[in-house]
Chain A
């Protein structure tokens, strides 16, 4: 091989950004086109350094915007390369137009999204506004709760995305700063293990196959557009989840680390639970354990795969609970909140009598403290005791002033 391998310790102290960059190195990506933005900058910076230090045989393409970055990634993926990039916030927003191109063209690109608030007011810290902005774009969306997840899910994302039955791009989300700039112990794979898991890239309909010329990015009007989109939705609804499960199973065999489409913690006998994303899942797990010592049977449901949305897995996870709260880290701006709506949709035509409330929290990196969660679990228990919601359906957590609630 023309490039060098890197010796890693079994446990490295890495932040989420460096963990993602290391996974990208081990996957041996052919092309990264990027326009760096806080807090995702160190991912593509890390790839560029690995490449210039001869740890990667690939190309780093500098471009003039995030729109151009994803456009170059689309071109490189259509040409037949393994492609990835990273972005956040405003950069993600600028990329949105091209996200739909990538998924509609069925190109397996991996995008690391280091979640950050959307201006105005300008803010570099973590919330899920950008994640939510991408949720109808036709991409697969994985969510990491800590640097270890950010590392592992990159391998899984390539594996699923590049499968010839899937061929859909995938995002790996991690919380800006709370994961991306927080160093923790990360169990590593060796270079051979990591590359072995994703395998050599197998092109499909690549433009550099001169014996089978193809036109990518064609136009269809009402005669074919709907069928293409319906096919894409069909594949997301029926083909992707089984492939993700297989990838999770294979990854567990390789690493011993088990991922689930919906992560359930202490929910088996629980009365109350929160449904959330990102680092909040882990903080809530710790608080749920402490609540049990106080006599409240608390659990946590973490969503690992946001798109396709795990409709039946959520139904299953929540059916026996008595009172739950969804935690949305994005401003719903005139609606109940994405998680509230999706979860309510899962539960609607079922027999469950679970009480559902929605919380909006943590915008612009506002801390979600353990004290907030203690209060929340206590409130959920009060709902159980009263047999009905004791609060309005939508409440804000951690915002100053009198308690803000709606609905």
Chain B
């Protein structure tokens, strides 16, 4: 986009999601779609994060709350099963952690540099007071 001349862009406040045409968009998973450079899917906001969500699938009940509430469509779910977080588009807002209903939570926020495997290994246990 930045390389185009001032009068080379298409008219209107309009951006194409794909270069050329696409078949069966509804039946194609995001990661298999060839998004155009002007699609926001190609733009990473990973560097916006100070904290990141870590997903522990041992406690997840696939309720889809995080998928529904995520404001950046960054929860990856397939066949109604939670798979993980799209770390290119997650801004680290923590809403997924807020809405997670399990005990202990299946998503927790850690600093960006935290090691996922060790954090999962030392995951908090069930909070008996709840």
Contact = CB atoms under 8 A, between A and B. Distances in A.
Direct contact of A and B (CB under 8 A): yes
Q: Contact size class for A?
A: 20 to 34
A350 interface: no
Q: Identify whether the interface residues of B are mostly helix, strand, loop, or mixed.
A: loop
Given A230-B6, A231-B7, A234-B7, A217 B13 contact: yes
Interface in B1-39: 6-7, 9-18, 20-23, 25
Contact of A205 (B6, B12, B18, B21): B12
A212 B16 contact: yes
Interface string A207-242: 000111111111010001001101110110000000
Interface stretch (A99-107, A191-199, A390-398): A99-107
Q: Contact size class for B?
A: 10 to 19
A343 B14 CA distance: 36
Contacts of B7: 227, 231, 234
Interface in A76-126: 104-107
Contact of A220 (B13, B17, B20, B22): B13
A67 interface: no
Nearest to A168: B11
A235 B11 contact: yes
Given A211-B23, A213-B25, A231 B15 contact: no
A351 B128 CA distance: 93
Nearest to A212: B21
Contacts, number: 60
Given A212-B18, A213-B18, A227 B6 contact: yes
A167 interface: yes
Contacts of A210: 25
B83 to A, nearest CB: 24
A8 to B, nearest CB: 36
A167 B15 CA distance: 16
A167 B14 CA distance: 13
A214 B14 contact: yes
A214 B17 CA distance: 6
A214 B19 CA distance: 10
Nearest to B17: A213
A213 B22 CA distance: 8
Contacts of B16: 212-215
Contacts of B13: 104-106, 216-218, 220, 228
A232 B11 CA distance: 8
A228 B4 CA distance: 13
A217 B14 CA distance: 6
A221 B106 CA distance: 39
28 contacts: A104-B13, A105-B12, A105-B14, A106-B13, A107-B12, A167-B12, A205-B12, A205-B14, A210-B25, A211-B21, A211-B22, A212-B18, A213-B16, A213-B17, A213-B25, A214-B17, A215-B14, A215-B15, A216-B13, A216-B14, A217-B13, A218-B13, A218-B14, A224-B9, A228-B13, A231-B9, A232-B11, A234-B7
Top 8 A-B residue pairs of the complex, sorted by shortest distance between their CB atoms = A106-B12, A211-B21, A213-B17, A227-B6, A106-B11, A215-B15, A218-B13, A105-B12
